[in-house]
Amino acid sequence: MSTIITRPTDTSDSRDNTFPEGSRKRLLLVSYHFPPVGGAGVQRPVKFVKYLRKFGWDVSVLMAANPSVPVFDNSLLVDIPEETNLVKARTWEPDYSLKKNMANKNQNTQSTSLLSPVKSACRKIARSGAGLLLQPDSQILWYPNALKAGKILLKEMHHDAILATAPPYSNLILASKLKRITGLPLAVDFRDEWDLSSKYLENHQQDRISHLIQTPLQKSVMKHADAIVATTKASTQRLLDRAHHFGTDAIGKCIYNGFDMDDFDHLDEPLRKPHSRTAQKRFRIVYTGTLWNLTTVEPLIHAIEAVHQVQPEILENLELQFIGRKTPEQQALLERIKQTACTLITEDYCAHHEALKKMANADALCLLLSDVEGAHRVVPAKLFEYLAIKREILSITPSGETADILGSFWPASNFRADNIPGMATWLTERLTETHDACISQPEQVVQFKREYQAGQLADLLNQLVNSTV
């Protein structure tokens, strides 16, 4: 069952008048996650929708009507232009709480019943079986209704191009099918590389059978894509090489994630300016986002423990805030902080505008990226809002694109994971003196504005449309 919802309005004032009605184009965006769904991954498609209209593109969004997701954030709805067509299709996935319960049942069950081992084994078999069937991800259960809704929309309303963003990678499979049906040019946007997600995301199938199933799926998507977009230069090149290996002549485009200055309007005026720390104030470090195996907090914990061994009393001046979901392994690491004099504040999730306020109230912002295979091609989305907020960034990352970007703005607080002494020295200096750190080359931050990036996407879409005329 699918539902098509259009948000009609008088668009004469909301559209850019430099693009008269006859010259405007329309994009179909395939994005399972869309507001009121919350989370960092939603920001990119929402900002594309918000700003593409300034470049002559109106947007229809094919989204899930009942998404099985962990968080919702109604504050993001303000970014959706009034004239946006929202096309909602139901998914057959179970509610997220049920999926989470199934994933964690073994860890949480303490029963001594003789049947417990049998129940546990049955759950493992059920999860493995479901994982093998639901390829490339559980959102494939959205595919049948979404395909039906997409075909109806494209038949009833003229569109000029299709853009699909992933993960989930079912979005790409769906968009590829719609491209084959309609012949419209297709751009696929990889917020994360397919292979890296399969390797590091929790609960993803990493067995040989899943690999054998998903490789042909990737090949099919890339063979039918006219353009491949990714969030780093290294990822773009790797995906483009892979696509060419599969026999496609797709073009590639790196469009970084970014920040939207409109999101900062709710902050008090003093918070929008660099602030000075007084000697009486605690030094507050804020981390926003998920803590998991690709963003482990372990190196920072080691650095805090190193300070604790030498000058435990100064840790009374340190406050750590971790805002976002944490895997059990990462939560266990955070628990070690409680053995020191630090103040630890944790929160599972907060609305995006509240997260920005917490960033603005920080003395330093923490950015983590694990030193694992492929991480040199990753740039966390939060990096760009960190830069816009103009607070010092304590970054613990491997060599690669993230380190290169941060080295241009905060070189003195950019560490590799094995440099525990360097991090410990940095902490000691910040906790024992009044320190005002200034961002280098602040004028260069403008290149990461969401509006600028939407313009890059519009140029790419125009190129695709013009090449098919």
Neighbours of 201 (CB within 10 A): 15
- Give the pLDDT band of residue 110 (cuts 50, 70, 90): very low
Q: Are 345 and 318 in contact (CB under 8 A)?
A: no
Residues of the chain with CATH 3.40.50.2000: 25-94+135-258+450-467, 262-448
Could you give the percent of the chain with pLDDT greater than 90? Answer: 73
pTM to 2 decimals?
0.87
pLDDT above 70: residue 126: no
pLDDT above 90: residue 435: no
Neighbouring C-alpha atoms within 13 Å toward the C-beta of 21: 4
Q: Which residue from 369, 366, 279 is spatially nearest to 320, judged by alpha carbons?
A: 366
- Least confident range of 135-144, 216-225, 273-282: 273-282
- Give the pLDDT band of residue 22 (cuts 50, 70, 90): confident
pLDDT above 90: residue 196: no
Q: Copy the structure tokens of residue 3.
A: 């539902």
Domain 25-94+135-258+450-467, what fold? Rossmann fold (3.40.50)
Q: Which residue from 426, 423, 378 is spatially nearest to 404, judged by alpha carbons?
A: 378
Cis peptide preceding 136, ω within 30 of 0: yes
Q: Does 121 or 311 have the greater pLDDT score?
A: 311
Q: Are 406 and 395 in contact (CB under 8 A)?
A: yes
pLDDT digits (tens, 9 = 90+) for 361-398: 999 999 999 999 999 999 999 999 999 999 999 999 99
**pLDDT at position 98, please?**
77
Its sign, for the CA torsion 299, 305, 308, 311, is negative
Mean pLDDT, the chain, as a whole number?
Answer: 88
- Residue 359 burial by CB count (10 A; 0-12/13-18/19+): exposed, middle or buried? buried
Report DSSP letters for 172-234, one per residue. Answer: HHHHHHHHHHH---EEEEESS-HHHHHHHSTT---SHHHHHHHHHHHHHHHHH-SEEEESSHH
pLDDT above 60: residue 49: yes
Q: Does domain 262-448 have CATH number 3.40.50.300?
A: no
pLDDT digits (tens, 9 = 90+) for 164-174: 999 999 999 99
